[in-house]
Structures are given as C-alpha cells and as structure tokens.
Amino acid sequence: MSGELKRGLEGVLVTESKLSFIDGDAGQLVYCGYDIEDLARDASYEEVLYLLWHGELPTSEELDAFSDELAAHRGLDDGVLDVTRELAEQDESPMAALRTLVSSLSAYDENADFEDVTDREVNLEKAKRITAKMPSVLAAYARFRRGDDYVEPDESLNHAANFLYMLNGEEPNEVLAETFDMALVLHADHGLNASTFSAMVTSSTLSDLYSAVTSAIGTLSGSLHGGANANVMRMLKDVDDSDMDPTEWVKDALDRGERVAGFGHRVYNVKDPRAKILGAKSEALGEAAGDMKWYEMSVAIEEYIGEEKGLAPNVDFYSASTYYQMGIPIDLYTPIFAVSRVGGWIAHVLEQYDDNRLIRPRARYTGEKDLDFPSVDER
C-alpha cells in the first residue's frame, strides 16, 4: 500500500466536527465557538454539557430542566453498588473499576438495548444517565475501599459539588465546589484525543453508547493520556521528600534520562490554556490554605523546563496540585478526568452517529511474502 506513513495518525484529518477547536500555536481552546477562558470563568459544567450535546448554550429554563434531569439520575441500583463494593474489596485499580462499573450500568438502563443505536433522543437519555452516575460510582468505590458507607446523592447540589459531597460525606465549601466545577469544564472536551477517537471508532461499528464510553475509559487509563496528572503529583511529592531544590531534582532526573511529567503536548506548541487557568487556581488554593509549597514548586519546575527544554506545561501539570490541595486521592485523578471528559466523548459519538461511516484505516505490510508452507515435521 502506497502513501505517506503517519504514525499515531499525527496530523491526519479523519472527520469534521463542530465541537471543539484547538490552535496549538496560539494556545487557544474553543468549545462550540466559545473560548475556554470565558467558559471556565462563567459557565457551569451542566451548561457545558448542554452546549456540547445541543450545539448551543441553554436558556435559564432549559438549564434548570437539564440540571434537574441529571440530578435525578445520580442514584445507583443495588446491583451496581454490590459490584462496586466487591471491586473495592478486591482492591481493583480505580480506572479499571470505573471501566467495569460504567459497563455494568447498561444492565439497569431500559433503553440500553434500543434497536436503533443512532437514535439521538434515546442516546441523549442514555447520556444523562451515564454522565450523572459516573461520579456516583466513583465516589462509592472510593468510600467502600476505605471502609466508609455509601453516601446518597443530594439533588439540591450541582454536579461538581454533589461529587465532592458523595466522596467526602460533607458538603464542600464554595471555593472547593467552584474550583472542581471549573476543572470539569476545562477537561470536558479536547478534539480528537486518543480516548475520544476510541469512542468514535467503537460507535462507528454501530455499537451502543455504553460500549463507546467503556472503550474511551480504557483508552484514558494509559499513562500517556489521562494518567499523566497522577504522575505529576507523584513527582512533586518525590521532589518534596528529597529536600532538594526543585530545579536540581529535575536536572538530576533529566541527567538520568527520565521524563518530567506534565510537559509537552501533541497539539500545543505553547502553554496549554487550561494550564494557565488551573495554575491560577492552584495558587489561590495555596494562598487560602496558607501553604504555597506545591504551587511554588510547580512554578520553579515550569520555568526550568521552559528554559532548558523549551517545553510548556499541559493541563495535567497544574491539575495535579489543584486536586491535591482539594484533598482528592492521587489515584482518583484520572477517573475524575473521565467523569468530566465523558461529556465530550458522548458529544463526539453523537456526531459520529449523525453521519456514520465505519472507521477502518489500513496498515502498510512489512512482513515476508511468498513463503513455502512447511509440514509440522519440517519445522
């Protein structure tokens, strides 16, 4: 097969989308025409979900109705809770547990086996159920593994605040709730990243929405995708434990041939705009807590890597310290990424269903040809 080989499909256009636009040279991210800085400052996660799924911002009445519908779907069936408890007792990793639990949710959705998997209205109902329940199963898993009881969802709280409530058993203060809501907005979509493309490939076979989201979760679990934020925080803790100057620690790591987590991006050639926003949040949380250690350490590493390697931080670099200062366990960072990104996954799957063509690329064969087949005795 002839043609230029593009490993990792880098730079290859495979579809058209109205969902998100990225300018890697300018450091710009746009959802459906709206700049991410405006959305992070002014929009709730519920508004962003509606925007991605409907292509326009909701009116006040539409937002209230949409938010109420999401909240009404947060509760978990006993069978799902049983599986969640068993996975926690078996010490299953959080991402593997989330993958299994999201797949299991289809057993309790009366529309899961709807004959036409491309039916938009049916899929929007599935989307609400999946998106509403993902934070619930993650919070339940986290509580069960530390020996705590399940906390029922509070429909009076928004999507972000309710997750923190179900995770910790107490209503979060306004600063924490707003910070987490902003983090969900920032992670909601990002073009054809690996997990989104995985969901699209699955849905292009006319598999159902639950299968597509489960595929995406499995893809996100890799350290080169969603796992990077947890690696950043582990690195920062190692730096702290070493009692070394952050720049000296990083220099030693680079001299050993190690990679510094949270830097570089396939799309951005400048600082990730989401990193700018979360960096400011990390600073604010540090100031509020009276402990600037994590933020100052991050800034020192960012400046050193920028000067020495010409690399800018991506969203994972500052989401790590932001989540850590919120008291979120490190191994929940990637599942939280999934809890947000499910909105974008679903939006892209809906687009795929609307104009579907089976995604089926080809590979250039480099193996042997025309070999004579030997009998088993001749091998």
The residues assigned a catalytic role are 265, 316
Q: Determine phi and psi for 266, rounding to 5 degrees.
A: -60, -30
Read off the amino acid at residue 338: A
Q: Cα separation of 67 and 365, whole Å?
A: 51
Which tokens is 245 given? 């100057």
How far apart, in Å, are the Cα atoms of 282 and each of 42, 75, 113, 295? 18, 31, 44, 6
Answer yes or no: are the C-beta atoms of 334 and 229 closer than 8 Å: yes
Q: Nearest 5 degrees, angle CA 130-CA 109-CA 114?
A: 105
Q: Which residues of 42-64 are buried (b: 16+ CB within 10 A; e: fewer)?
A: ebbbbbbbbbbbeeebbeeeebe
Scan for tokens 């990077």, then name that residue: 228
Q: Cα separation of 96 and 100, whole Å?
A: 6
Answer yes or no: are the C-beta atoms of 332 and 233 closer than 8 Å: no
Closest-CA residue to 162 (of 148, 152, 175, 147): 152
Closest-CA residue to 166 (of 179, 153, 180): 153
Residue 321 exposure: Cα atoms within 13 Å on the Cβ side: 33
Read off the amino acid at residue 130: I
Q: Given phi > 0 = left and psi -120 to 50 = alpha, else beta, which region is 199?
A: alpha
